[in-house]
Structure 1
Amino acid sequence: MERPGMDSDADPMDGPDPELAATMGFSGFGKKARTFDFNAMFEQTRRTAVERSRKILEEREKETAEKEKELGNQHDSVNLTTAPSRTLERIPSEDSESSESEEDSSDEELIGPPLPTQGTETQETEDDELIGPPLPPGYKGKEEEEEEEEEEEEDNIRVIPEGHEVPSLLIGTHAVSALGLDPSGARLITGGYDYDVRFWDFAGMDASLQAFRSLQPCECHQIKSLQYSSTGDVILVVSGNSQAKVLDRDGFPVMECVKGDQYIVDMANTKGHTAMLNSGCWHPKIKEEFLTCSNDGTVRTWDVNNDKKHKGVFKPRSAQGKRVIPTSCTYNRDGKLIAAGCQDGSIQIWDRNMNVHTKFHCRQAHVPGTDTSCLTFSYDGTALASRGGDDTLKIWDVRQFKTPLNSVAGLPSFFPMTDCCFSPDDKLLVTGTSVKKGGGHGKLLFFERETFKKVYEIDVTDASVVRCLWHPKLNQIMVGTGNGLAKVYYDPIKSQRGAKLCVVKTKRKERQAGTLTQDYIITPHALPMFREPRQRSTRKQLEKDRLDPMKSHKPEPPVAGPGRGGRVGTHGGTLSSYIVKNIALDKTDDSNPREAILRHAKEAEENPYWVAPAYSKTQPTTVFAEVESDEDETDDKPEWKKRKI
């Protein structure tokens, strides 16, 4: 019998060519290789598998029908109207052993893949002919794909922790330009245009939400960036001056970068920055290294243990080779790449160990002349998101860095540090929008990473949204606004710790009389006349101490009359204040001083009070000069006394 797929003319036992055998000196080369027709073999196998599976299904249908009749009263709830699958559960009976052996034998005889358990009726016609092969396992219709897309959108929305909002952390009236959370999520630091850096401890705060420390580390310079190191023990402070600072967790200075020489042309030969800083961040793996960029056209790396000189210098250049100013800088997730967004609209990426030439660059990433406010890498390290000053948000593939994967326009940005960040699951991209005063509400927008479709938005406040931070461990979103507020969004189920710790705490009541109490000293061997009474109730003791002017520090009453002991008297108690008061209250017209004085002449003669009584005995008689007429004056007076006309 011929095997299917073999050539009938070819004999597998035929030897080699006799001439070749005689030449080589031996009789043969072995057996001839067999040839197979795989299409015919596959078709034959499929037909046999279909026939055998049909026979097995018919036998199982008969068995189940008989068992239904026998055990119908006991198992009314069992419904076996459909064709049983290959993994049908056996009903315990007396012939269980025999049935199991039959199943094992049938399983052994089954060749090829089993028929699908569902949809067998649709694949069989009345003549029991198979209509086409079964659908592949990954096949989905249009309706199923649409349903899956809707489910994905719902899942993305559920991930966003927007269910609850912590009452705003009042920072001031100026914009919140910097936010930072430590890796554990226990502390939050905020900085703004009012030069202050505030420290917030979620575990130590109550519902009043008061910062436990506030300081001005850079004097009168705006705070541009704040970030905890990878270990959370130090903080990088980047301000409007040329020297970045490193503080510890409690705000005490650890290190300050050196200032460079501004008269040297080549910035690589200076020891530090010579112009205002724009941004900075920590290395994700090395806890002692951090990065800064400045208006002097350089990006520098620093070591905390060496404040005398920078560690490395990167100089971004334009297409013409001229110096450009970097406005933002960052490391990638493993710290091997350094990226900088520049004012000419370019994004330039260097290898951390090669600071001369860029590894990737895109000259037309954003509109030239705008400030790229933020660069951030995704958690998987393959994508880079950029927030441009041209009101756009773009995402790039680092491996193909010529054109963006997706882009969204129409997102206003008025601040040079407007943020964008990835969600912890790397599926969403978040950024904020800016508004003018009285122009509406600033919003927090959520976009899908793959399609850049807007999934959700949050109306934050009637001011611009400057900073946004999504902590991966807490699953909470921190937002800094342009009117001096910092808001925290969390979900009571999906979020952990962080703001949830301080919201549930009640405000502490201020004990006004708490400082009035004195320590109670127990002296058991003191005499009864010197023994202090035992305190029975704190409240009664507080009320008693309140009545005591010494213990309650009762302020002294105002001085009546003239001042004494260095204290100023009450109003009108002294002569000068009395006179000033009367002069101020006197409404008489003193335009003619002579008439004002003579008005009291009669009263002074009748009732002398001030000057006349003292000279009553020694005062001479007043003699007034007689007034003569003008004619007498002209005749009697000498020539030199006469009035000249």
Structure 2
Amino acid sequence: MTTATRGKVPTGYADEIAISEHSFRSAHRAQESGSQSLIASKKRKREAKGDSSVVYGANAYKGPWARYELERPEANDSGSGSEEVEVEYEEDEIAEQPVAPSKLGTAYEEDVGEEKETTEFHGESQYDYQGRTYMHIPQDLDIDLRGEVEVKNYVPKKLIHTWKSHTKSITQMRFFPSSGHLLLSAGADGKVKLWDVYHQRDLLRTYAGHTKSCNDIDFSSTGTTFLTASYDRQMKLWDTETGSCISRFSTGKTPHVLRFNPSFTLSHEFLVGTADKKIVQFDARTRDQVQEYDHHLGPVNTITFCDDARRFITTSDDKSLRAWEYGIPVPIKFIAEPYMYPLVRSTPHPSGKWALFQSSDNQITVYATTERFRQNRKKSFRGHNNAGYAIDVGISPDGGIVSSGDSAGWVCFWDWKTCKMWHKIQASDVPVVSTLWHPRETSKVVTGDLNGVIKYWD
């Protein structure tokens, strides 16, 4: 018996009925045959295909996508009246909703355009008494920002500073390579901002050149330049010191993630993962596309270099992980298990043996970056909620503490060895989407939330 209980449905309420399977099938077949005969009885023909040389207007080319005309009297079936009515209808519709030529599918270049880049310096003076800019690593501090990094990290406990200038959500943050005396932040407002981490902790410079949300940034190995990627389908290379835009890149698709090659010999090349399932390799000097890695079945979310930049790992919305040899467009490892969720953010472990991935099922998973690229099932960090947000995962410079934001405004810290949560900080009233450890301090962490507020913890 097939039954239906009374309850709310999109068209109103359904009353409870009871009907046998045989009766239901018979009535269903009768309904289908009646509908088909009714359709067959109607005279339907398509509109005129139009002129293939016309893109816009009453006689625009429709080809096989021409719509079916409505049922008309016999007298108008073969006459010219139906055509006149159809033309008048299209002209009326076009007159009400004009379409700019730049919005046509054939005018993609005009539609995207190149936004004029601007920059603004916010500090008191661009040069100090010795003629040095903010690029100079300060030496009048209690900590040495040069040389080898040897630090033991601890969980931060208190808030020491707050930066507020972005008008929308923080999307990504990066410390200046090695020294960490500058902080670069990108926001959904399309702006990129550079902050002073020491001294007055002021906003130093704003880089504006994207029309939509800036979703990823990455410093070069020297820090003199950095890349930005935006939903306006543009990638731009900026000079950190002057704020000028050096180069522009685009594949025609939205870039989701980009990474400079960390090796010294190939530091001029970078990878970008796009919304059309591809990883594209660019040469920043010539602006040429060097290689294309096309095996994913969904938008690419993360790119993680490993093995001294000879290999890299990518993840995608297709719930898979792929490992590649740099420069060779064929995966050397493919992992896609039934229990896997999309891996939306990643970071390499300082030891170089592991990579941490933020999984969409409220956990942080760990994969080996050595030959087999297997998942370490003994290491899984849970206790936070990340559903619906691409929340960054962080790791302390000594590799001992894992950190992550939370959709409820918490920042969570786990012990790397035991995978137990050590501490939680209520960092915001809205989701914390980014956490980042200072490369040289013992317990300094920055967090960015959905309101565009950056907080510095110790």
- CA contact under 8 A between 1:228 and 1:234: conserved in structure 2? yes
Contact 1:346–1:365 (CA under 8 A) maintained in structure 2: no
Determine whether 1:256 maps to 2:248.
yes
SS of 1:479's partner is strand
Contact 2:316–2:344 at 8 Å: present in 1 too? Answer: no
> Which of 176, 182, 185 is residue 187 of structure 1 equivalent to?
182
- How far, CA to CA, are the matches of 1:235 and 1:408 in structure 2? 31
**What's the CA shift for 1:483?**
1.6
Higher relative contact order (CA 8 A, sep 6+): 2
Cα shift at 1:222: 0.4
For 1:344 and 1:227, the matched residues in 2 are separated by: 24
Paired letter, 2:311: L
1:445-524 matches, cutoff 5 A:
445-475=412-442, 476-490=444-458
Which residue of the partner structure matches residue 203 of structure 2?
211
2:261 & 2:389 partners in 1: Cα distance? 22
Structure 1 regions of 5+ residues with no counterpart?
1-157, 260-272, 318-322, 436-441, 491-645
Correspondent of 1:279 among 249, 254, 257: 257
1:178 and 2:172 aligned: yes
Residues 378 and 404 (structure 1), Cα distance of their counterparts in 2 relative to 1, 3 Å cut: same
Q: What TM-score do you get using the length of structure 1 for normalisation? A: 0.44
Out of 377, 383, 387, the position equivalent to 2:358 is 387
Residues 464, 390 of structure 1: alpha-carbon distance in 2 compared, 3 angstrom cutoff? same
Contact 1:345/1:366 (CA < 8 Å) preserved in 2? no
Residue-by-residue CA offset, 1:335-355 (whole Å, 9 max, x unaligned)? 111111111211111011322
- Shift in Å, 1:393: 0.9
Quote the Cα distance in structure 2 between the aligned partners of 1:232 and 1:337: 22
Question: Which residue of structure 2 lines up, in the alignment, with residue 347 of structure 1?
Answer: 321
For residues 310 and 417 of structure 1, the distance between their equivalents in structure 2, rounded to whole angstroms, comes to 28
Residue 191 of structure 1 contacts residue 197 of structure 1 at CA under 8 Å; is this kept in 2? yes
Correspondence for 1:404 among 376, 398, 407: 376
Return the TM-score normalized by structure 2.
Answer: 0.61
TM-superposed CA distance for 1:161, in Å, is 5.1
Cα distance in 2 for residues equivalent to 1:217 and 1:278:
17
- Quick one: distance in 1 between partners of 2:357 and 2:338? 9
What residue in structure 1 maps to residue 221 of structure 2?
230
What are the residue-to-residue correspondences of 1:300-379 with 2, within 5 Å? 300-307=280-287, 309-317=288-296, 323-332=297-306, 334-356=308-330, 358-364=331-337, 367-368=340-341, 370=342, 372-379=343-350
Contact 2:170/2:448, CA 8 A, preserved across alignment = yes
Letter in 1 for 2:172: A
Q: 1:221 aligns with which of 212, 217, 238?
A: 212
**Shift in Å at residue 236 of structure 1?**
1.1
1:185 is aligned with what amino acid?
A: G
**Distance (Å, rounded) in 2 between the aligned partners of 1:422 and 1:310:** 32
Distance in 1, matches of 2:268 and 2:382, equals 38
| Residue identity in the other structure for 2:350 | Y
Deviations 1:434-483 (A, max 9, x none): 13xxxxxx111112223211122222111111111112223421111112
**Counterpart Cα distance in 2 of 1:394 and 1:365:** 15
Question: Aligned partners of 1:389, 1:240: CA distance in 2, in Å?
Answer: 22
How has the CA–CA distance of structure 1 residues 446 and 191 changed in structure 2, closer, same or farther, with 3 Å as cutoff? same
Is the alpha carbon distance of 1:346 and 1:163 closer, same or farther for their aligned partners in structure 2, counting shifts above 3 Å?
A: same
For the structure 1 residues 403 and 201, does the alpha-carbon distance in structure 2 shift closer, same or farther, using more than 3 Å as the test?
closer
Matches within 5 A, 1:463-612: 463-475=430-442, 476-490=444-458
Distance 2:381 2:350 in 1: 21
Distance 2:158 2:417 in 1: 27
**Gap change, CA 1:461 and 1:479, over 3 Å in 2:** same
Contact 2:153 2:397 in 1 (8 A): no
The alpha-carbon deviation at position 486 of structure 1 amounts to 0.3
How many Å separate the matches in 2 of 1:416 and 1:283? Answer: 27
Aligned length: 300
Deviation at residue 325 of structure 1 after TM alignment: 2.0
- Whole-Å separation in 1 of the counterparts to 2:204 and 2:390: 26
Contact 2:227/2:238 (<8 A) preserved: yes
Q: CA deviation at 1:242?
A: 2.3
Q: Please show how residues 89-104 of structure 1 align to structure 2 within 5 Å.
A: none
Instruction: Give the partner amino acid of 1:249.
Output: T
Give the Cα separation in 1 of the matches to 2:213 and 2:434: 15
Cα 1:416–1:163 shift into 2, 3 Å = closer
C-alpha displacement of 1:188: 1.1
Distance 1:163 1:454, change over 3 A: closer
Is 2:210 aligned against 1:239? no
Instruction: Give distance in 2, aligned partners of 1:388 and 1:338.
Output: 18
CA distance in 2, matches of 1:182, 1:367: 34
Structure 1 window deviating more from structure 2 (331-340 vs 209-218): it is: 209-218
SS in 2 for 1:344: coil
Change (3 A) 1:366 1:195: farther
For the Cα contact (< 8 Å) 2:166–2:191, is it kept in 1?
no
Give the superposed CA RMSD.
2.1
Distance 2:447 2:307 in 1: 23
Taking the aligned partners of 2:246 and 2:389, their CA distance within structure 1 comes to: 28
Whichever of the two has the greater Rg, that structure is: 1
Richer in strand (by share): 2
Unmatched tracts of structure 2, length 5 or more: 1-151
**1:212, CA displacement in angstroms?**
2.4
* Separation in 2, partners of 1:342, 1:311: 21
Match of 1:425 among 395, 398, 412: 398
- Paired residues of 1:291 and 1:299 also in contact (CA < 8 A): yes
Q: Distance in 1 between matches of 2:344 and 2:401?
A: 19
2:89 counterpart residue number: none
Are the structure 2 counterparts of residues 431 and 176 from structure 1 closer, same or farther at C-alpha, using a change threshold of 3 Å? Answer: same
Distance in 1, matches of 2:193 and 2:185, equals: 5
Letter in 1 for 2:258: G
Pairwise CA distance, 1:365: 7.9
Instruction: Classify 1:255/1:234 alpha carbon distance in 2 versus 1 (closer, same or farther; 3 Å).
Output: same
Deviation of 1:333 (Å): 5.9
Q: 1:476-518: per-residue Cα shift (whole Å, max 9, x none)? A: 211111121101123xxxxxxxxxxxxxxxxxxxxxxxxxxxx
Q: Which residue of 2 aligns with 1:291?
A: 271
Change (3 A) 1:333 1:223: farther
Distance 1:409 1:232, change over 3 A: same
The residue identity in structure 1 corresponding to 2:279 is V
Q: Distance in 2 between matches of 1:449 and 1:174?
A: 33
Q: Distance in 1 between matches of 2:423 and 2:182?
A: 28
2:117 is matched with: none
